[in-house]
């Protein structure tokens, strides 16, 4: 039996410890040999760098959200309504008819944002649609101001509220003309009509969308084109609130959420608001909206082909004492052209009327009982 070579055993043990240490942490190999033999297998520094970069990115994003929320929130207000009280009778099988008082209690219904230190607030027109009700705006510090005047834009779902105040903090209005899909955005508002100053985040998920606000069967249907689509959570109560970018600039007015879908909301581009606001400040009112006076249903191309009728606006009703009645438009007519322009699914009757002004003389091409007629009329001013 050979004698054990103690020197070789010692060297072998040392090498083994170095290899084990290199596998577990790499520190011993680095310090003893000044090399990194396992970096290709275990890229310790690269992994640490990636983790550090990810943590840094998360911290930066969190910082942006916090900074923007702190900057914009003082300019965001809650819109509250107080409807008049009414006495109604309710039937009870145990006591017959009993009176009950309905209304009168203030409740939060929407959001707005301050655009002037002297008390101009932007919100959606549909938030303040009730002309008989009284409205208030509540700031972040819970100060309440009665709305003294309301100016509603007949062309868009926008309204300007005037309150008696001074020294308010106005938002910074951005530019919605150069937005990009994927751009980071935040929405601030009174979610669900209860949760004031709720902040949600997301991205711009689409541009140039078209949505219908109002009743599509009515001649004064409001078509909003080129709206911003976002996946930032927009709930009932957020209407009229700001959609802001990472610089804290307002780039849109939250207006609607897609029915039956999740995380799809829409906002009116701020450039539309800026144009209307500039006109309002110069003339003291919004531009007038033209009115024809028909209730209709658009017939899409596929339906028209199946039923052997032309594509256009099928007239459901003609409103009395309107330009449509004066022109001789009748129920069951199909309006195929408006002022020489064909009606399509992409550009219906409402979209074409919006391009006109009160007092404009227009021609209507109408299909009636297999015949095509040409009618003329003069558009009047739309009155809500």
Instruction: Indicate which CATH number applies to the domain containing 309.
Output: 2.30.42.10
196 within some domain: yes
Overall residue count recorded for the chain in this entry: 384
The model's pLDDT over 218-251, given as tens digits with 9 standing for 90+, comes to 334 455 767 899 999 888 888 899 999 999 999 9
The reply to whether 79 and 143 lie within a common domain is yes
The reply to whether 321 and 297 lie within a common domain is yes
Determine the Cα–Cα distance for residues 314 and 99; give it in Å rounded to an integer: 45
The reply to whether 198 and 240 lie within a common domain is yes
Is the full-model pTM beyond 0.85? no
pLDDT at 99 over 70: no
Q: CA distances (Å), 313 to each of 34, 220, 327, 340, 377, in order?
A: 82, 13, 16, 14, 17
Closest residue by Cα to residue 250 from 224, 233, 270, 226:
270
Backbone angles phi, psi at 232, to 5 degrees: -65, 130
113 within some domain: yes
19 within some domain: yes
Q: Cβ(79)–Cβ(111) under 8 Å? A: yes
* End position of a domain, from candidates 228, 259, 283: 283
What is the predicted pLDDT for the residue at 332?
Answer: 93
The reply to whether 176 and 259 lie within a common domain is yes
pLDDT at 267 over 60: yes
94 within some domain: no
Kindly give the pairing relationship between strand 172-173 and strand 249-257. Answer: parallel
Residues noted as catalytic? 126, 157, 239
The pair of structure tokens assigned to 216 is 């599509």
Per-residue DSSP letter, 214: S
The reply to whether 308 and 372 lie within a common domain is yes
Higher pLDDT, 8 or 330: 330
Q: CA distances (Å), 120 to each of 27, 281, 318, in order?
A: 65, 10, 38
336 within some domain: yes
Closest residue by Cα to residue 105 from 78, 140, 75, 81:
81
What is the predicted pLDDT for the residue at 121?
Answer: 95
Average model confidence (pLDDT) across the chain: 80
215 falls in which pLDDT band (50, 70, 90)? very low
Residue 278 domain boundaries? 172-283
Higher pLDDT, 68 or 57: 68
* End position of a domain, from candidates 283, 312, 341: 283
214 falls in which pLDDT band (50, 70, 90)? very low
* End position of a domain, from candidates 138, 163, 188: 163
The pair of structure tokens assigned to 127 is 């938030």
91 within some domain: no
Percent of residues, the chain, with pLDDT higher than 90: 42
Number of domains the chain contains? 4
């Amino acid at each position: 039996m050979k004698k054990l070579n103690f020197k070789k055993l010692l060297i072998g043990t040392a090498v083994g410890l170095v290899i084990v240490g290199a596998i577990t942490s790499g520190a011993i190999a680095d310090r003893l040999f000044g090399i990194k033999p396992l970096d290709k297998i275990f890229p310790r520094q690269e992994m640490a760098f990636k983790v550090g970069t990810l943590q840094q990115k998360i911290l930066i994003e969190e910082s942006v959200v916090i900074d923007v929320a702190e900057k914009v929130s003082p300019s965001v207000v809650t819109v509250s309504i107080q409807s008049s009280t009414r006495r109604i009778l309710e039937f009870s099988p145990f006591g017959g008819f009993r009176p009950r008082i309905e209304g009168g209690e203030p409740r939060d219904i929407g959001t707005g944002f301050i655009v002037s230190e002297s008390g101009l607030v932007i919100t959606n027109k549909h938030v303040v649609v009730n002309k008989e009700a009284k409205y208030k705006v509540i700031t972040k510090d819970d100060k309440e101001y009665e709305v003294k005047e309301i100016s509603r834009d007949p062309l868009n779902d926008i309204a300007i509220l005037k309150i008696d105040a001074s020294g308010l903090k106005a938002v910074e209005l951005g530019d919605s003309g150069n937005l990009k899909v994927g751009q980071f955005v935040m929405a601030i508002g009174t979610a669900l009509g209860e949760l004031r100053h709720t902040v949600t985040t997301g991205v711009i998920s689409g541009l140039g969308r078209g949505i219908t606000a109002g009743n599509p069967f009515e001649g004064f249907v409001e078509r909003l084109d080129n709206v911003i689509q976002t996946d930032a959570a927009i709930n009932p109560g957020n209407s009229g609130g700001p959609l802001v970018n990472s610089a804290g600039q307002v780039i849109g007015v939250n207006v609607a959420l897609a029915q039956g879908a999740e995380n799809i909301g829409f906002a009116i581009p701020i450039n539309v608001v800026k144009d209307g606001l500039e006109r309002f400040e110069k003339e003291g009112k919004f531009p007038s909206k033209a009115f024809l006076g028909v209730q209709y249903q658009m017939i899409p191309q596929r339906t028209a082909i199946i039923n052997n009728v032309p594509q256009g606006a099928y007239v459901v009703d003609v409103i009395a004492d309107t330009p449509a009645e004066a022109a001789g438009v009748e129920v069951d007519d199909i309006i195929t052209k408006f002022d020489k322009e064909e009606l399509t699914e992409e550009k219906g009757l409402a979209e074409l009327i919006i391009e006109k002004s009160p007092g404009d003389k227009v021609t209507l091409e109408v299909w009636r009982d297999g015949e095509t007629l040409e009618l003329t009329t003069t558009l009047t001013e739309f009155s809500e």
